């Protein structure tokens, strides 16, 4: 496909591709997924938050107790303070949401 240009000339395919790449590069990058483990301290359903004392999240943050906003409030219904969980965070330049959580087994098995 060619587009009219000044003087009746036509833009080259290379220019069209360059314009398309320029437009697509303006899209925000996909969210980064981070996985952590910790112990639920508090569930604050009215604020769509859960407080977790978590272990180090390699490459992101040291171990600490932190409040996380959940994207889907239904996740909070599964959580009880004191239980150990594995959770997934979705991080962009502007947001950090907890998007998945599962309970971890805490029992020890003897051989």
Q: Encode the chain (111 residues) as per-residue pLDDT tens digits.
A: 555 555 545 556 766 776 666 666 666 677 789 999 999 999 999 999 999 999 999 989 999 999 999 999 999 998 999 999 999 999 988 889 999 999 998 665 444
Domain-located, residue 20: no
Domain-located, residue 47: yes
Domain-located, residue 108: no
pTM value?
A: 0.70
CA gap 98, 50 in Å, rounded: 9
What angle is formed at CA 44 by the lines to CA 37 and CA 41, rounded to 5 degrees?
Answer: 40
Domain-located, residue 77: yes
> Domain with 75 in it: what CATH number?
2.40.50.320
51 - beta bridge partners?
Answer: 42, 67
Domain count, the chain: 1
Domain span at residue 66 reads 32-103
Domain-located, residue 94: yes
Domain-located, residue 5: no
């Amino acid at each position: 496909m060619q587009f009219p240009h000044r003087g009746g000339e036509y833009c080259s395919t290379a220019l069209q591709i360059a314009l398309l790449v320029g437009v697509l590069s303006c899209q925000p990058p996909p969210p980064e997924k981070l996985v952590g483990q910790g112990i639920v301290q508090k569930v604050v359903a009215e604020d769509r938050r859960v407080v977790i004392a978590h272990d180090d999240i390699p490459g992101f943050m040291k171990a600490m107790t932190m409040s996380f906003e959940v994207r889907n409030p239904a996740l909070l219904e599964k959580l009880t303070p004191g239980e150990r969980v594995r959770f997934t965070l979705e991080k962009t330049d502007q947001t950090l949401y907890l998007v998945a959580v599962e309970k971890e087994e805490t029992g020890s098995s003897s051989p």
